[in-house]
Structure formats: structure tokens, C-alpha cells
Chains A and B, each alone.
Chain A
Amino acid sequence: MLRRLVGATLLLLASVLAVVWWTPVVDAESTQGMTVTGTVSAQTGMTLDATSVALPAGAPGSAVTSTSQTCVTIATNTGQTWALAFRAGTANFTSSGGGSFPTTQLRWRIVGQQNFTAVSSTGNVATDQVGKDVCLDFQLVYPADAPAGDYSASFNMILS
């Protein structure tokens, strides 16, 4: 009985491996070839679905998370590779009352990822899916010593 079980298990394992290894996989890279002829002009660009993100109010020292996503779509017909970066445009969040705290208090992540990443001057959101949305959401940690007020800061979504 045991030997029969071992033999059947070996064959079953071989079947599973054969299915996994030899199931045809559509190679995304191989479908990207595009011949541009005639008067089609080269274009590489980005579309942002929104340029402003409102974050909930929070007590000093608390962390709040955006309730909506910000998505960017890359379109290119040049065949060139590209990279996307989310970077701080200003050094600080500022309020009309004169309060400020560093923009590094904002964290971002690609929707679906588990961890947030602090905003830096070189943050790279590189991805390889032309025409597909790259969506971010955000978390802001209010410093414990931040004066009360409405804060704002500017960030850049850079296509290069």
C-alpha cells in the first residue's frame, strides 16, 4: 500500500510540474512590438486622474491615510523605456498660521503593496506597464509638536 502511494505521489508531482512548467505563458514583452510609419508623431506622456489629495484631520502624533487613490497612466509610442518617480516638490508642509513640518512625514505606496515608503528626492515608482494605471495612496504622520492648522505641500509625479 505504501509503495503504491509513493509511486502515485511521484507521478502526481511530475504531472503538476509538467503543467506548471509547460503551460504557455503570454510574454508581455513580446507583445509590445510596434512599427510606426507615416505621419504618426512620437509622443510620450502621462495622465494624472487628480492633482490634489485631501487627507483627513488628525491629532498631533497621529497617522492618517488617504481615502482615495491617485492614479497615473503612461502612454508612449516611442518604444523607449521610462521611469516614474514620486518626489517632494517642497521641503515642508506649511499652514497659513506659520506652522510647518517636513514633507518626509508623507508616505506613499503603490496600491496593493503592504508598506508605505517615505517621500524622498529620488523616489522611484518604476513600472513597466504602458497604458496601465499606476495608483498610489498616502499616509501622513502629523508630528507630535505640529501647531493646529490646515497644511499643504506640493509633490511631483515625474515621467523620465
Chain B
Amino acid sequence: MGRLPGRLWRGATALGLAALLVAGVAAAARAAGPSLAVDRQRVELSVAPGESQDVRLNVSYQGAESGVLEVQVHDFDTLTDGSFRLLEPAGWSAPSTWIQLAAVSLPLQAEQPTPLRFRVQPASGTPPGDYGALLLLQLQQPPGGGVVIQPQLAVRVYTRVAGAVFRRGYVSWLAAPAFVDLEMVRLSAHLVNTGSAMLDGAGALRTGPVPLGPLALGQPSPPGRQAPASAVMPNEDRDLAFTWEPPGYGLYWLELDAHDADVSAGLSSWVLVAPWRAFVLGALVLPGLWILSGQRGARLRESARVRLIALLGGEDRRPRDQS
């Protein structure tokens, strides 16, 4: 009888080790899939119309001994949540036509970075401004049945066609909670770019007369969903999410401005930072203590009265508090 717990213990240990082994094998199997990485997911360059610039990216691959990378170039626009949508080719003036790939498919060797080269040459006569195109990097897959899933990396290529670009834009809304405690506050806003230059990932959040310094637009607010840190291109609009930590209690005036001085058009919002949780706790604790102390006080007074009457030889005929 005394040996049974020992056996049980050994059995449980064996089961645990087996479970760990299975989990390890599963983890190893999971890590065995193809892996694709790139050293830059965003390329920015400035080129005069008619001139060109060469770019090199490094692609890393892990998986089978060798693989083949396919590269496609697309025009795209960015949706308000930060994801992109591929556009149909829009003729010779489309930014995707400015990109000449050195090769549309590249042999990859596992564990060895492979250079991906391309040239960017804006069409002559292109108006000054910022333009974007998208490189889609994809592992060539052997044909298979059922649902075949291909890993793809999207690299944004932003080209500034040199000249007199102008910045214009506005914040169409700024959402902030009206009443918070000393905690990380999630804010959101919507930025519309009506100029010819990209509005990049920086801005300023001001509180009252005191600026709080630079703020990364698009900086994710935990644990919300993240949009890629991409620029808001001309004719695009974007939902922005960011966080702010109040420095102390008080009434704050928040104002969001885009980064550039000529793209002010900030919106403002009032936020009251107060220890509201402490107020709520006080509203619960104080009445609770008051009620309980009143109960105890009543019992003590009753007890003293009974003792006094007994001392004086009298008789208490009042019903006693049974609580």
C-alpha cells in the first residue's frame, strides 16, 4: 500500500517526460518550415526625373537546401488600418513601372544572404512629389494539392521625385478618453494627406502650453492591433493609434499636430486626469466602515445599558438585539 504513491509518482513522471518529448518534436517540426527575411521592409530614395538610383536588399532564407525567390512589383495604396491593397497597373506613369529588377527570380541558398538588386528611374516629366511602389518577395512553391500557402514579404519603395514638393494635410478626428487615472492612455486619430509629399511617422502631441516632444504616429497602443510604420502618402488617409502617459493629475488639453509646421491643422481634446479609482474606493469603504462601526457602537451601547441596569438592580424588559 505504501509503495502505491511511489508508483503513481513514477508513472506521472514518465507521462510528463513523454509529453515534453512530444512537445519538443512538435516544436522542432514547426521550426522546420520555410523562413524568409529581408533587411529592409521600407526603402526611401530621392531621384530627379530622368535619373536613376540603384538599390540592393539582402534576402535571407531558411528551409530546404535551396529555394527560388520570385519578385513582383506592384502599385498599391494603403488602407486606413495600415494594410495595403494592390492596384491594377496604371500605365507608363505608374511608380511600379519605374522599378527595373535585375532578375525576377533568384536562387536562394539556405543560411546565405542573397542580394536583390533593382533600379529606380522615374519617368521624365513626373511632377515632384512622393510616390510608392511595392515589391512582393515570394518563395516559389512546388505545385501541390489542397490549399497551398506561400510566404510573402512586402517591401515598400518610396521615391521622392525631386522638385518643389508641398506638404498639406489635416487631422480629421482625435479620440481620447475624457476621464482617466494616472495610466497609459490610448489615443487615436485620423490623418489625411492632401499634399504631394508623404507625411511620415512623426508628430507632436501637446498638452496645454507645454509640448511633450516628438511622438511616433502609428506607434501601437498595447494590446491593440498594429499598423505597419509606413508613411501616409499623398491622397491617402490613415487611422493612427498611439499612447500617452499623463505626467500627473490635472486637466489636460491634448493637441495632435502632424510633424511639419505647414501641416498644423491639429485637433484638440480635453482629458481630466484624476484618481477616480481612489474616489470610488472611498465611496465604498467609508460608508461600509460607517455602517459597521454603527452596528458595533449600537451593540456596545446596548451591552453597557444592560450592565448598568443589572448593577442598579433593575430589570431590562426590552428585547435584546439578536444580531
Please report A residues at the B interface, Cβ cutoff 8 Å: 1, 3-4, 6-11, 13-14, 17-18, 21, 27-29, 41-55, 66, 70-72, 75, 78, 80-83, 85, 89, 106, 121-122, 124, 126-128, 133, 138, 140, 150-160
B226 to chain A, nearest CB (A): 4
**A45 in contact with B144 given A1-B323, A156-B152 (CB within 8 Å):** no
Known pairs A126-B81, A158-B136; list 4 more (Cβ under 8 Å). A7-B289, A8-B288, A51-B139, A128-B225
B76 and chain A: residue at smallest CB distance: A160
Q: CB distance B291 to A4 under 8 Å?
A: yes
Contacts of A83 in B (CB 8 A): 82-83, 226-228
Q: CB distance A17 to B148 under 8 Å?
A: no
Best-surrounded residue of A17, A52, A71, A81 (most CB of chain B within 10 A): A81
**A44 in contact with B281 given A82-B228, A157-B151 (CB within 8 Å):** no
Q: CB distance A29 to B220 under 8 Å?
A: yes
Interface: B91 (CB within 8 A): no
Best-surrounded residue of B32, B184, B224, B227 (most CB of chain A within 10 A): B227
Interface: B261 (CB within 8 A): no
Q: CB distance B285 to A122 under 8 Å?
A: no
Interface: B4 (CB within 8 A): no
Provide the bound-state CA to CA distance between A14 and B282, in Å: 8
Provide the bound-state CA to CA distance between A151 and B145, in Å: 7
Contacts of A11 in B (CB 8 A): 284-285, 288-289, 292
Q: CB distance B147 to A138 under 8 Å?
A: yes
Proximity bits, B147-190, A CB within 8 Å = 1, else 0: 11111111010000000000000000000000000001000000
Q: CB distance B288 to A106 under 8 Å?
A: no
B281 to chain A, nearest CB (A): 5
Q: CB distance A154 to B148 under 8 Å?
A: yes
Interface: B30 (CB within 8 A): yes
Q: CB distance A122 to B85 under 8 Å?
A: yes
**A157 in contact with B146 given A7-B288, A44-B41 (CB within 8 Å):** no
Q: CB distance B225 to A46 under 8 Å?
A: no
Proximity bits, B261-277, A CB within 8 Å = 1, else 0: 00000000000000001
Interface: B93 (CB within 8 A): no
- Of all A-B residue pairs in the complex, the 6 with the closest CB atoms, nearest first, are A45-B37, A10-B288, A7-B291, A160-B154, A47-B35, A14-B284
A91 to chain B, nearest CB (A): 14
Q: CB distance A154 to B288 under 8 Å?
A: no
Contacts of A10 in B (CB 8 A): 284-285, 287-288, 291
Contacts of A27 in B (CB 8 A): 184, 222
Q: In the complex, which of the residues B41, B148, B285 contacts A78, with contact meaning CB atoms closer than 8 Å?
A: B41
Q: CB distance A157 to B37 under 8 Å?
A: no
Interface: B223 (CB within 8 A): yes
Listed by A's residue number, 6 A-B pairs whose Cβ atoms lie within 8 Å are A13-B284, A17-B280, A81-B220, A81-B229, A155-B150, A156-B149
Q: CB distance A47 to B225 under 8 Å?
A: no
**A28 in contact with B138 given A7-B291, A52-B149, A159-B153 (CB within 8 Å):** no
Contacts of A4 in B (CB 8 A): 291-292, 295, 323
**A154 in contact with B150 given A10-B284, A127-B225 (CB within 8 Å):** yes
Q: CB distance B35 to A7 under 8 Å?
A: no
B317 to chain A, nearest CB (A): 22
Q: In the complex, which of the residues A21, A46, A106, A128 contacts B35, with contact meaning CB atoms closer than 8 Å?
A: A46
Q: In the complex, which of the residues A48, A50, A126 contacts B227, with contact meaning CB atoms closer than 8 Å?
A: A126
A154 and chain B: residue at smallest CB distance: B148
Q: CB distance B148 to A153 under 8 Å?
A: yes
Q: CB distance A157 to B154 under 8 Å?
A: no
Provide the bound-state CA to CA distance between A2 and B58, in Å: 74
Interface: B195 (CB within 8 A): no
Provide the bound-state CA to CA distance between A70 and B30, in Å: 9
* Chain B stretch 37-68: residues in CB contact (< 8 A) with chain A: 37-42, 58, 60, 62
Q: CB distance B152 to A157 under 8 Å?
A: yes
Provide the bound-state CA to CA distance between A152 and B60, in Å: 28
A32 and chain B: residue at smallest CB distance: B222
B52 to chain A, nearest CB (A): 25
Provide the bound-state CA to CA distance between A73 and B310, in Å: 82
Q: CB distance A133 to B151 under 8 Å?
A: no
B323 and chain A: residue at smallest CB distance: A1
B284 and chain A: residue at smallest CB distance: A14
A123 to chain B, nearest CB (A): 9
Contacts of B156 in A (CB 8 A): 160
